[in-house]
């Protein structure tokens, strides 16, 4: 089967993982929440443009690959709303003078993004009663009460979208897995500035932590759960 | 410069990360601890052998690439002992009947590794007063008191070794970074069953979370810190 | 109503809490787990004896008040087993040479309890498939994967028993509440070496974090949930 | 010695704790941070008034006992500023529609406090570069990156002030102790709506988790540490 990582991970490597027993399916859980991570203008730009042009607006932009993902997240979000399943927006909180630490040492440019970049992308913006979750570190679980919200909402799984595949998405997926939530990643709904990192992180997650699947398959499974039937 | 990921991550991708401002150096910290993660016979086999032969003994073995790493960890461990810097062994605790969860769903074979595989590798085994840290999830910080040990030991950094680069090493590095510890990865001292995942995870960590460097450079920096001078 | 804290907390104080709106009921949840915290011989002695006699065996013993609680935990445990609800044993792990930290500074005697004291009390000992959870700090959640176990077991609540009321029970209750689990404390099933601390911590928990109730009321509510009918 | 709990905890109980070995001193640490927890108008009212009058403005007010504490926190804060030691303000974030959970079930009135009540008390308000730490749960560590800030700031201890003694102060103290930070509580600088809960929680903390002392003693010890000499 052609997978997003097929050009970069060899068939021999995949055989190694299967021999070790990795990669079984886990399922969506009975009541998954949708996580839309860091889909703010700072990661895609205020208008669709190629990478090198887009970073002139925000250094942290992933460019048009991000806009492409937004177009896939939109119908998935619609599906969650239709079925009354929870939607959660972990997002990068604007940096304050006291937010230094290892992040500022490693990536100093992150400290000076214009306030405007922190706005949510309009096409998939939060509605009333969605959970807004400011975060200071990569994982949506680290230093936040995300686990508390999921437990209160009666969720046993998360569907993870947004960016970057190799950064905040990856670390949130590993933490969700560690908490024993079911974890699903629709492969068209996550994005990254590096195609190699995007592909290999999908591979890592698929074999070790999550069900990584085409959006259509996930949407079909979602149509079977939740409170409200689709017409 | 030739880096472990140069054959798999393009120069264009590296330029993207540099344009976004990623990848500055963070330094060792004033008092780093050495983490030796999951270096148990279950991840390398009881004797050195190629991958496909080694997994006949333990399905979770990475084979000879693990033994190669152990030969590099040994002198680094010696350096930490010589300078009276703390050494911590996060390790996979033998599975019990109640340890099911997402891990057993995703990788059922992990539940049936022989007890013998959980022993520490003799060449770099713990000594009295080293911290032993059983863990049930990928990150050495998740569901363990590792942060408490580091704070009690007065450490402000960690040097991370062991396996797998794309699994427990990667997730421990991200958590250490999130806690604001200085994070360093000596590239010859971590290992993985997938060369592609190994390379790209080193790339991810180098640009976002850690100083990823040749062992010789790290050893030279270690020789400058700590309580005891080398002869 | 006469409550365990009625002799020590004034009626005026209770009116203050009620005026602030504290103390509503939260309920058991649909599927609570039973936590039996630190019921090891080190906290009650190997045979029932008054406090001052009992601490000659183990300095950490609460004496006969602990044995009294064990007699109440026994039928509650039976109820959980009968209804196939999960049972979890958070317990103090024997101290190792590297376990120093603030605990050893504050209470040095805790470092030298005989190994024998760490055994579970036979009358309410774990059975196969119960979760055993070693811990190094007061709360059963701190530095342990307890939240992961509860999520995997599909639990939305905890019934907390054991000791000490003002120590590990109290801190576990606050953390369970913070995670948004339903929290219930059967007042006869927790114990402490200080009657004042016991009473006031029950008061604190009752008004802020948990349903604190007589065992009979909790047992009646438990009889209504879970998979199996009682005869 | 007369202690804040002497009228409520018997001498026999104190002897029990000492017999068990509880209550040694831990010290301030080399570089403590000051935590000022929840000192917002919602916990003391916008002007000094007795309890029953004050709760007419905000149901969560502790009344004049809170103003009394503020007058003691002010010079302590001055001492921290003078010595360039970090100051951190954990505070209750205004409730949003999605913040329900166990808190709303237990204390529904907490959900409807006027926005005005969330302002910091002017007499001891934050200055630029102080760390502001919004929180959703009792402990200043739970679901927040407080540990990351303390590690980044090079702190090995915390001096805890604010309210309530039996709520957010108590749970923050237990978590700080579990992380192995040195913990100190100046007894005049914490406040509560219940005198009994205030006294017994000071007793609990003093014997198990923290150095609980008169402000004058702590101020004298602070004068010996940090970068700048007092005149």
Q: List the one residue out of A89, A90, A108 whose CA is nearest residue A100.
A: A108
The secondary element (H helix, E strand) that includes residue B4 is none
> Spelled out in words, what is the top-level CATH class assigned to the domain C27-222?
alpha beta
Interval B71-80: pLDDT, tens: 999 999 999 9
B 8-27 residues inside an 8 A Cβ radius of A? 8-10, 13, 16-17, 19-24, 26
Q: In this structure, are residues C180 and C155 in contact, taking their beta carbons and an 8 Å threshold?
A: no
Inspect the interface and report whether the beta carbons of B98 and C132 lie closer than 8 Å.
yes
Contact of A156 with C151, CB cutoff 8 Å: yes
Residues 6 or more apart in contact with residue A115 via CB below 8 angstroms: A94
Q: Percent of chain B at pLDDT above 70?
A: 97
Length of chain A: 231
Contact list in D for residue C26 (CB cut-off 8 A) is 102, 105-106
Domain ranges of chain B: 27-222
Please, which pLDDT band fits residue A229 given cuts at 50, 70 and 90? very low
Quick one: pLDDT band at residue D227, thresholds 50, 70, 90? Answer: low
* CATH code, residues D26-222: 3.40.50.850
Give the neighbours of chain B: at least 3 Cβ pairs within 8 Å: A, C, D
Query: Using a CB-CB distance cutoff of 8 angstroms, which residues of chain A are in contact with residue D105?
Result: none
The closest CB to that of C179, out of A148, A178, A180, belongs to A148
Q: How far, in Å, CA of A6 to CA of D50, rounded?
A: 71
Q: What is the pLDDT of residues C185-216, one digit of tens each?
A: 999 999 999 999 999 999 999 999 999 999 99
Q: Looking at beta carbons, which residues of chain C come within 8 Å of B149? A: 98, 101
ipTM of the complex: 0.95
Residues of D in contact with C175 (CB under 8 A): 139, 142
| Mean pLDDT value of segment B30-47 | 97
Q: Which two tokens stand for residue C123?
A: 């009358």
Q: What is the mean pLDDT of chain A?
A: 94
**pLDDT tens digits, one per residue of C117-167:** 999 999 999 999 999 999 999 999 999 999 999 999 999 999 999 999 999
The reply to whether A217 touches chain B by the CB within 8 Å rule is: no
Q: Which of D62, D163, D168, D189 is catalytic?
A: D168
Residues 6+ away with beta carbon under 8 Å from C15 = none
- Measure the CA dihedral B171/B174/B177/B179, to 10°: -70
Which C-chain residues 189-208 have CB contacts (< 8 A) with chain D? Answer: 193-197, 200-201, 203-204, 208
> Are C131 and B101 in contact (CB < 8 Å)?
no
User: The dihedral of CA C74, C79, C81, C85: what is its sign?
Assistant: negative
Q: Is the pLDDT of residue C69 over 50?
A: yes
> pLDDT tens digit string along A58-108?
999 999 999 999 999 999 999 999 999 999 999 998 888 888 788 888 888
pLDDT at residue C230 greater than cutoff 80 = no
**Buried (b) or exposed (e) across C94-107, using 16+ Cβ within 10 A?**
ebeebbbbbbebbb
**Could you give the CA distance from residue D63 to residue D41 in angstroms, rounded to a whole number?**
10
Instruction: Report which secondary-structure segment, H or E, holds B84.
Output: none
pLDDT at B230: 37
Residue D229 has a pLDDT of: 40
**Positive or negative: CA dihedral C197, C199, C205, C207:** negative
d(CA A186, CA A191): 11
pLDDT at A201 over 80: yes
Q: What is chain C's mean pLDDT, rounded?
A: 94
List the Cα angle B115/B136/C115 in 5-degree steps: 70
Residues in chain D closer than 8 A to C140 (CB atoms): none
Measured in angstroms, the CA of B76 and the nearest CA of chain A are apart by 24
| Closest chain D residue to B178, measured at CA | D148
CATH 3.40.1350.10 fits A11-19+27-222, yes or no: no
| D window 112-151, beta carbon within 8 A of A | 128-132, 136-137, 142-149
């Amino acid at each position: 089967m052609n997978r997003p990582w097929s050009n970069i991970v060899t068939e021999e490597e995949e055989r190694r993982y299967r021999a070790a027993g990795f990669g079984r399916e886990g399922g969506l859980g009975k009541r998954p929440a949708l996580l839309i991570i860091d889909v703010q203008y700072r990661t895609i730009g205020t208008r669709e443009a190629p990478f090198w042009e887009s970073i002139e607006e925000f250094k942290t932009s992933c460019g048009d690959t991000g806009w492409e993902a937004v177009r896939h997240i939109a119908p998935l979000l619609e599906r969650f709303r239709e079925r009354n399943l929870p939607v959660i927006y972990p997002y990068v909180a604007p940096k304050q003078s006291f937010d230094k630490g290892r992040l500022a040492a490693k990536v100093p440019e992150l400290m000076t993004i214009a306030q405007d970049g922190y706005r949510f992308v309009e096409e998939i913006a939060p509605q009333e009663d969605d959970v807004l979750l400011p975060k200071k570190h990569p994982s949506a679980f680290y230093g936040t009460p995300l686990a508390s919200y999921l437990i209160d909402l009666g969720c046993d799984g998360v569907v993870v979208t947004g960016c970057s595949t190799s950064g905040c998405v990856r670390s949130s997926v590993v933490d969700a897995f560690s908490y024993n939530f079911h974890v699903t990643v629709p492969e068209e709904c996550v994005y990254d500035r590096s195609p190699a990192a995007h592909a290999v992180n999908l591979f890592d997650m698929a074999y070790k932590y999550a069900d990584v699947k085409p959006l259509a398959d996930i949407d079909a499974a979602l149509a079977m759960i939740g409170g409200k039937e689709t017409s």
